[in-house]
Structure 1
């Protein structure tokens, strides 16, 4: 899952990025509202975390702009603890939830899970394909005979494949969803993680293979 974080306090932003990445989120961080709006208009995110008080454009204005454009991305706003009016204004402007500073990492993660889950309430937290299941809460890949916990990027690649069984996912799509809008990573990194996952699938005895569609991308195929 890919998030945009807009927070102008650099130390706090760095800490939040580290927490989110440790919990298997891909994160793009920006430090002012103008950049936040540009990123949200130019790219596809699964959720956004917007601080209200930011340079160039405040978080409420960013929120109003994207909602006016019909963008229904789940948004969590960050507010100063004492600013009740800001919280009310944020919710009235289309925010899905708010979090008051200071906050605990566990609460931040719970709020993110909550606002993103509301958007896809019918989607199970476990993805199943062939004899495999991928637990999106524990990041465990399970077969009838074995189980392993996937590291961050491997989980995200597998999640994208398992959520779209038999559908070819392009290399560009992997890069966009997992490595991010302004990543310096080479597209060859996708092949590297596909290779890691193929070994994982073999190790757990999966009847599912990652196949390559020449010049197009990768997809999951159930073996008979």
Structure 2
């Protein structure tokens, strides 16, 4: 799995100085180095662009790597709302998004994501694209909220669904503490009556789900 991803990243991605700077800033601030892979980031950009999404909700900002990739998909016309537990993570993410040219197109809401999501539902917000990349134990809760906030035909993309390959017992892949959680989540997404979904084995695995109209 690692070799395949290295091949994809090498062949299909050119060096991106801005994103490299984001990764460096994350490391310098002693934050977890768990941003999406280069190809996963490019995939997010393409999905946003292809779908025509203009109003995105991201759950889990970290240092802004995925936020930049998402925003590149909507260019100068979209808006990104990002939920982040840690205030200092959100500040770094905003700084990096500003450097990327999206200063006026991104809003960060800090605190527990479930509380923030409840507030967005109460305010009758609606989004046409979602990206979930946060604490795995709440993935199903996040999914439920995304469905409530979704416009007809919206896309929901979820990261780390392969748990390093352990969900499929691939080769020597070791189980992670969230392997069983991801297995259950994948089954839920695959069989959800309101979703049409597929798992894409890129990076650490992404599910792409479309809200049925």
Report the TM-score, using the length of structure 2 for normalisation: 0.37
Report the TM-score, using the length of structure 1 for normalisation: 0.36
Greater C-alpha Rg? 1
- If each structure's helix is expressed as a fraction of its own residues, which one has the higher value? 2
